[in-house]
């Protein structure tokens, strides 16, 4: 429960601000860093990036003051994830490179954590050489969550290389492990990646079913970064689900997630407007513009010199592609996607 956990972390942070004894200062600082990093994870999941950054800055300052290297490294790893989410890929890569240089080799687990974060950024940058080097040298993490993240990264790499079936087989094994461990967040992340691997195999209906299951499980807590971090293909898949969803809370959740996607996910990537799974035809765009002007079907037919039945068919096609059921919603989505 994200809300309940957030409350617990806030209480822990409030309690750690009071120092009862000077001898307990370092102990309380350590406790506060732990609570801050836990709260950071929740805020990040809710896509509250500004607050997350502020919390991380406090964690970094506190950990440097008390020489908590472990906390400092993990705060900087989280900060690099935020920088990546904000489109600052090079900044994040440079920060991790600088961090790796100053971590002693004796801190082998921290070194591996940084290298895994670098591999994640390398995947986004299309740097397969760095990924290959990491994959060959990696030692599976002792922590279940971290190990699952590494396994997921390998599966994503396979998918980007066109090895969808191999990726899907690995994901099935990871999914089984997360279910047995009862780790819901990891399980949902695996299921999202499975939907993408199935979509890459041109099995769209199956991918939609998988994502619909993820949404149903995620609805009570409504995580956002779960979908945003998976990238543009998930946005397209979510939009394709809209015409099939009639449950209002679920529909509102999907729309909220879609609105959280940035217009440009990375430099050089197309916007959501040009990456609809089924783009609007030039004629449908003309009909859409007239719809937004509140023209009736008869008026649209007259303007475009077509029959009213043709207009009705095109309007329904527009609704389906945009994932809406009425004109007002079509207008809203059209503006959101900069189609007008």
- Comparing 1-15, 131-145, 257-271, 318-332, the range with the smallest average pLDDT is 257-271
Domain-wise residue ranges, the chain: 1-100, 278-340
- Which of 1-5, 199-203, 272-276 is the most confident on average? 199-203
Q: What is the average pLDDT value for the chain, to the nearest integer?
A: 89
pLDDT for position 69: 97
The full DSSP string for 228-266 is HTT-HHHHHHHHHHGGG---HHHHHHHHHHHHHS-S-SS
> Tell me: the pLDDT tens digits for 43-58?
999 999 999 999 999 9
CA–CA distance, 40 with 55 (Å, rounded to integer): 7
pLDDT for position 21: 53
Whether 1-100 and 278-340 share one fold: the answer is no
CA–CA distance, 244 with 209 (Å, rounded to integer): 11
Q: Give whole-number Cα distances, 99 to 153, 266, 283, 301, 331, in Å.
A: 21, 23, 53, 63, 47
CA–CA distance, 218 with 202 (Å, rounded to integer): 25
pLDDT for position 267: 33
Instruction: Specify whether the CB–CB gap between 136 and 115 falls below 8 A.
Output: no
pLDDT for position 270: 43
pTM of the model: 0.78
Residue 225 reports pLDDT greater than 70: yes
CA–CA distance, 289 with 306 (Å, rounded to integer): 16
Q: Residue 308: is it exposed, middle or buried by C-beta count within 10 angstroms (0-12/13-18/19+)?
A: middle
Residue 179 reports pLDDT greater than 90: yes
pLDDT for position 276: 61
Per-residue pLDDT, averaged over 221-241, amounts to 93
> Tell me: the pLDDT tens digits for 70-120?
999 999 999 999 999 999 999 999 999 999 999 999 999 999 999 999 999
CA–CA distance, 43 with 33 (Å, rounded to integer): 15
Residue 132 reports pLDDT greater than 90: yes
- Comparing 7-11, 142-146, 194-198, 283-287, the range with the smallest average pLDDT is 7-11
pLDDT for position 268: 38
Per-residue pLDDT, averaged over 6-24, amounts to 72
Percent of the chain predicted with pLDDT > 70: 93
pLDDT band at 246 (very low <50, low <70, confident <90, very high): confident
pLDDT for position 24: 60
- CATH number of the domain at 1-100, out of 1.25.40, 3.30.160, 3.30.420, 1.20.950? 1.25.40
- CATH number of the domain at 278-340, out of 1.10.10.10, 1.10.3720.10, 3.40.1350.10, 1.20.120.920? 1.10.10.10
pLDDT for position 277: 60
pLDDT for position 18: 61
Contacts of 65 (CB under 8 A, 6+ apart): 29
């Amino acid at each position: 429960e994200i809300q309940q956990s957030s409350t617990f972390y806030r209480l822990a942070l409030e309690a750690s601000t009071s120092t009862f004894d000077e001898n307990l200062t370092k102990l309380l600082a350590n406790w506060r860093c732990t609570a801050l990093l836990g709260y950071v994870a929740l805020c990040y999941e809710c896509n509250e990036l500004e607050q997350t950054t502020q919390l991380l800055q406090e964690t970094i300052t506190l950990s440097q003051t008390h020489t908590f290297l472990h906390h400092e490294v993990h705060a900087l790893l989280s900060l690099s994830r935020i920088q990546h989410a904000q489109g600052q890929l090079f900044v994040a890569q440079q920060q991790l490179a600088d961090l790796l240089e100053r971590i002693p080799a004796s801190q082998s687990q921290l070194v591996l954590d940084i290298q895994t974060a670098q591999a994640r950024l390398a995947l986004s940058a299309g740097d397969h050489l760095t990924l290959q080097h990491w994959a060959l040298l990696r030692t599976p993490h002792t922590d279940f969550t971290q190990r699952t993240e590494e396994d997921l990264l390998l599966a994503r790499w396979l998918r980007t290389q066109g090895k969808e079936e191999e990726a899907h087989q690995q994901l099935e094994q990871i999914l089984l492990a997360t279910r047995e461990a009862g780790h819901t967040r990891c399980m949902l992340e695996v299921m999202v990646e499975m939907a993408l691997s199935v979509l890459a195999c041109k099995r769209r209906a199956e991918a939609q079913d998988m994502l619909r299951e993820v949404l149903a499980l995620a609805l009570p807590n409504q995580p956002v970064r779960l979908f945003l971090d998976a990238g543009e293909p998930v946005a397209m898949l979510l939009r394709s689900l809209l015409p099939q969803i009639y449950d209002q809370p679920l529909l509102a959740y999907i729309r909220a997630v879609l609105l959280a996607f940035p217009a440009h996910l990375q430099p050089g990537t197309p916007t959501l407007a040009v990456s609809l799974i089924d783009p609007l035809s030039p004629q449908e765009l003309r009909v859409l513009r007239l719809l937004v002007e509140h023209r009736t079907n008869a008026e649209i037919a007259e303007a475009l010199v077509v029959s009213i039945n043709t207009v009705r068919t095109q309007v329904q096609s527009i609704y389906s592609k945009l994932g809406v059921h009425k004109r007002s919603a079509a207008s809203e989505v059209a503006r959101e996607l900069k189609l007008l």
